[in-house]
Structure 1
Amino acid sequence: MKFKFVKMQSLGNDFLVLNQDFFIGGKLRLDSTNFKFLADRRLGVGADQILLIKKLKDQRGDIFEYRIFNADGKEVEQCGNGARCIFKFIKDHNLSDKDKISLSCRAGLIDVEKIGDDFIRVEMTTPKPGAKEIGFNVKGLEKNQFKNHEAYWVPWQSQFKFCLFPVSIGNPHVVCWVDDLYSPRVSEFADWIMMSKMFSSGVNLEICKLISTTEIQMRVFERGVGETRACGTGACAAAVSGICLEKLQSETDIIVNVCLGYMIVSWSGGSEDSVFLSGPAKTVFTGEIDIEQ
């Protein structure tokens, strides 16, 4: 099957965007093996995620189906940086003339709009802190209760333990606050926890360092991918964790620094309120590939 694709990225978190109109002489018929091939940086094109979009007929306005496949070929619920790239793709290809566009993904409906020359804002789903929300098996773990929010101490290598804050942003995350993001111990723990069987559907891990009450530094490890240069839902999870633990201020812009720039996250702290994510989106190149079916 021959088709076109657009390579896009946000702060180094890179994607291949596919649209039904790109498929030459046929309809979309890709499986997990195809997605793994496309994401492979040596054998395929290379990407953290493959993003598929299709315009839906809906009386409420312009709504697009938005599907996300990780580099391991598995479909996942949500991707904040990908949503911004999808918005740019839609506008660049004149698929909508609306200022605000709705994307329907497995996590629910999210709204995306441009807020400046370079930044795009996504209204994400309502964050849900808690182990049950992400399928985190905490049996035998020491619980650290902070007001209405919970965190868990995970022992590692007998003499060490790390405190994990679980939160769903439509997909599963745990946030770990440390003083040194790049210590060998932290990196080794991250590799270990990503392979752990404690999470029923896998997990995304954010390693965070507090800079001020409105700014943090973050490393992120994504399920099915490994360490990536940025993650939009990860930035949201980190900010929500910091606000719940009163490390960060609510109802203000939180700067989330990653290796190639920053995102901005805001959340009121309300249990029914959405979290907002803002950041850039860039087109890298357009290509065409023919893969065997």
Structure 2
Amino acid sequence: MNTPFAALAGTRFHKGHGTENDFVLLEDDGGDLTLHPETVALLADRRTGLGGDGVIRIVRSADSGIPGADEQAAAGAEWFMDYYNHDGSLSEMCGNGVRVFAHALLETSRVPADSEEIKVGTRDGIKTVRITLNPALGETEPSTASTPGGPEDAWYTVDMGRWSIDETAETLVTTDGIDVPRPGLSVETGNPHTVVALAEAAELSAADLRDAPVLDPVPPQGSNVEFIVMEPARSDLAGGEGALRMRVSERGVGETRSCGTGACAAAIAAHHWAGPTSPLQWRVDVPGGRLRIGITPDEGGDQGTVTLAGPAVLVATGTID
């Protein structure tokens, strides 16, 4: 039978999510699959396919056929996260996706069960994922479909690598539900992001992200857009931790329940706006749950490194007909 997924017939898949940012993961250890954008888009469609914010190919770096992946394999990243957006376009990196990817490697015995860290190849370089305990054990976490009773024990902490701020990019962001265009801060965290600060939670709730926000000027590679509200009353300034809420419209996807690289960008922007003495650790609440971000700025303050921590869940496994 000739179907849009005939080329994927017999392929084993997994459905997973990280703070409800959900993905279809395809097993392709030897690099035999060719994923066309239209096939990916159909597969990610919630009516015509399995449904997800993105599609991830699980492939050995050395067999992936992706430029630079051989070097990553030689540096210890046996597995490569070949990531596609919901619309079939390629993406450099996905913070929630790499946690789910690492979780899938463990669950399918592609890496040893006692692994303390996993090196994952991506188009944004090697990402080191550490298996940790949720640092929030003992505190009340936002209830979600994936964590109805509180925090999950197993978290994944990702060294997301370098970030930078471009204050010369003067971008105005217009979206339905917010009265006037707002200035956005350009933050690069492996993907391009534009972060917009709002004054209060009511504005964040009022933003209508069914259509993508309009950016002026439009960044050359497009941009994810994060709307954030900082929450000083919920911050633990004595403990060095800030708190914020975020919603996101992802490039090539639309609004999602969470975005890992976006949460990093949001925390970096919040620290930048609050000043150099503000917290370097941030709790970022998204519609799908909570993420934790750790920022290490360089001396100049406009670039540095960042870590992302959060849960990962696999909810289904099967084979494509």
Does TM, normalized by the shorter one, top 0.5?
yes
3-state DSSP of counterpart to 2:181? strand
Runs of 5+ consecutive residues of structure 1 not aligned to the other structure: 133-137, 144-151
Provide the residue aligned with 1:223 in structure 2: 251
Letter in 2 for 1:68: Y
Contact 1:194–1:203 (Cα < 8 Å) also in 2: no
| 1:102 correspondence with 2:100 | no
Question: Superposed, which structure 2 residues align to 1:115-194 within 5 Å?
Answer: 115-116=132-133, 117-130=153-166, 152-154=171-173, 160-181=180-201, 183=203, 187-188=207-208, 191=211, 193-194=213-214
Give the root-mean-square deviation of aligned CA atoms.
2.7
Partners in 2 of 1:215 and 1:184 — Cα distance? 15
Cα deviation 1:80-139 (Å, max 9, x = unaligned): 00000011001111111232111221112211111113211000021111167xxxxx5x
CA contact (8 A) 2:15 2:23 kept: yes
Give the drift of 1:273.
3.3
Residue of structure 1 equivalent to 2:105? 90
SS in 1 for 2:161: coil
CA apart distance, 1:243: 1.1
TM-score by length of 2: 0.76
1:245 Cα shift? 1.4
Give me the whole-angstrom Cα distance separating, in 2, the residues matched to 1:153 and 1:9.
Answer: 32
Report the counterpart of residue 148 of structure 1 in structure 2. none
Aligned residues: 269
> Is 1:255–1:264's contact at 8 Å kept on the other side of the alignment?
yes
Look up the match of 1:14. Answer: 22
Give the SS at the match of 1:120.
Answer: strand
The answer as to 2:312 corresponding to 1:281 is yes
1:50 aligned to 48, 55, 60, which one? Answer: 55
Is 1:237 aligned with 2:265?
Answer: yes
- Residue in structure 2 matched with residue 208 of structure 1 by the alignment: 228
Mean CA deviation greater in 256-265 or 91-100: 91-100
The structural deviation recorded for 1:198 is 1.0
Q: CA deviation at 1:287?
A: 2.0
User: What SS does structure 1 have at the residue aligned with 2:33?
Assistant: coil
Give me the whole-angstrom Cα distance separating, in 2, the residues matched to 1:68 and 1:77: 7
SS, match of residue 108 in structure 1: coil
Which amino acid is 1:204 matched to? N
Residue 59 of structure 1 deviates from its aligned partner by 4.5
Secondary structure in 2 aligned to 1:238? helix
Distance 1:190 1:205, change over 3 A: farther
- TM-score (norm: length of structure 1): 0.83
Aligned counterparts of 2:204 and 2:309: Cα–Cα separation in 1: 31
Q: In percent, how many aligned pairs have the same letter?
A: 30
Q: CA deviation at 1:189?
A: 7.7
